[in-house]
């Protein structure tokens, strides 16, 4: 066995060990997260519904149980994310130069914070706004009756979407800092970027203009924040 084959085997073994540790952590935390899921679901519903007088209903015997499993999985991923990120970081660390280590380490931390901020923004601001907007169409003859699966499903979907879309400033900053694109090129394409964000928001959100705008506006503002932060790395005369 030559040196190259031996190195490949060592890397594969390190990758296997890292994956086993990550999956083990997810499996261990899943049980307590499932026990906490009913309380988390109740708290989430109270936040989303707010002061609105509306009842949530379920229409099949296993519906709430399946929702609790989904919530448990999401909580499991959130709780284990720092440990998983640390394991991935330790796996990649030997192959990186010192400047790359500092840059990626800062990106991982910033990305995690942005994702959490996106989820919190969605849960505490966007979802109650969407519910209130929907309830505003109720009349004396038309009552607002929501299915719990629809509400929780919407909450989980939009939370992940907002968490991902809140990565825009980091993406902009990283692309400019790495030299893959120039500051001037990004700055000149602002109108196209806004339209692209609007289209992506329309695809990812439910088919209503409120959800689309509530995702588009903060995402574009975050893009501008990333562009502002990357000014000192401007290229091509900027």
Distance (Å, whole) CA 117 – CA 8: 39
Minimum mean pLDDT range among 29-33, 92-96, 117-121, 220-224: 92-96
Distance (Å, whole) CA 117 – CA 228: 19
Opening angle at CA 209, ends 203 and 210, nearest 5: 110
Mean pLDDT of the chain: 80
pLDDT value of position 107: 74
pLDDT value of position 84: 83
Mean pLDDT of 82-98: 74
Distance (Å, whole) CA 126 – CA 215: 9
pLDDT value of position 8: 64
Instruction: Look at residue 6 and tell me whether its pLDDT is greater than 70.
Output: no
pLDDT value of position 97: 67
Distance (Å, whole) CA 118 – CA 114: 6
pLDDT value of position 100: 65
Mean pLDDT of 206-212: 73
pLDDT value of position 3: 59
Which residues are within 8 A (CB) of 102 and not within 5 positions of it... i.e. 6 or more apart? Answer: none
pTM equals: 0.74
pLDDT in tens, 176-188: 776 777 778 778 8
124 backbone dihedrals φ, ψ, rounded to 5°: -90, -15
pLDDT value of position 238: 44
208 backbone dihedrals φ, ψ, rounded to 5°: -140, 145
Distance (Å, whole) CA 19 – CA 14: 9
Mean pLDDT of 143-155: 83
- Please report which confidence band the pLDDT of residue 236 belongs to, taking 50, 70 and 90 as the band edges: very low
């Amino acid at each position: 066995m030559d040196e190259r084959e031996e190195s490949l085997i060592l890397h594969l073994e390190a990758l296997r060990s890292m994956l086993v540790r990550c999956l083990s952590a997810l499996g261990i935390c899943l049980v307590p997260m499932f026990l906490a899921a009913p309380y988390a679901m109740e708290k989430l519903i109270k936040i989303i519904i707010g002061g609105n007088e509306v009842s949530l209903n379920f229409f099949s015997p296993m519906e709430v149980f399946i929702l609790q499993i989904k919530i448990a999985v999401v909580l499991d991923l959130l709780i284990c994310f720092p440990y998983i990120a640390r394991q991935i970081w330790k796996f990649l660390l030997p192959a990186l130069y010192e400047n790359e280590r500092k840059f990626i380490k800062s990106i991982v931390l910033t990305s995690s914070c942005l994702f959490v901020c996106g989820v919190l923004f969605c849960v505490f601001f966007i979802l109650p706004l969407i519910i209130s907007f929907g309830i505003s169409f109720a009349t004396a003859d038309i009552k607002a009756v929501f299915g719990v699966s629809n509400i929780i499903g919407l909450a989980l979907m939009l939370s992940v979407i907002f968490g991902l879309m809140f990565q825009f400033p980091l993406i902009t900053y990283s692309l400019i800092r790495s030299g893959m694109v120039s500051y001037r090129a990004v700055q000149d394409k602002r109108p196209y970027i806004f339209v692209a964000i609007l289209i992506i928001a329309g695809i990812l959100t439910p088919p209503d203009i409120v959800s689309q705008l509530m995702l588009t506006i903060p995402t574009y503002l975050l893009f501008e924040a990333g562009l502002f932060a990357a000014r000192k790395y401007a290229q091509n005369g900027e």
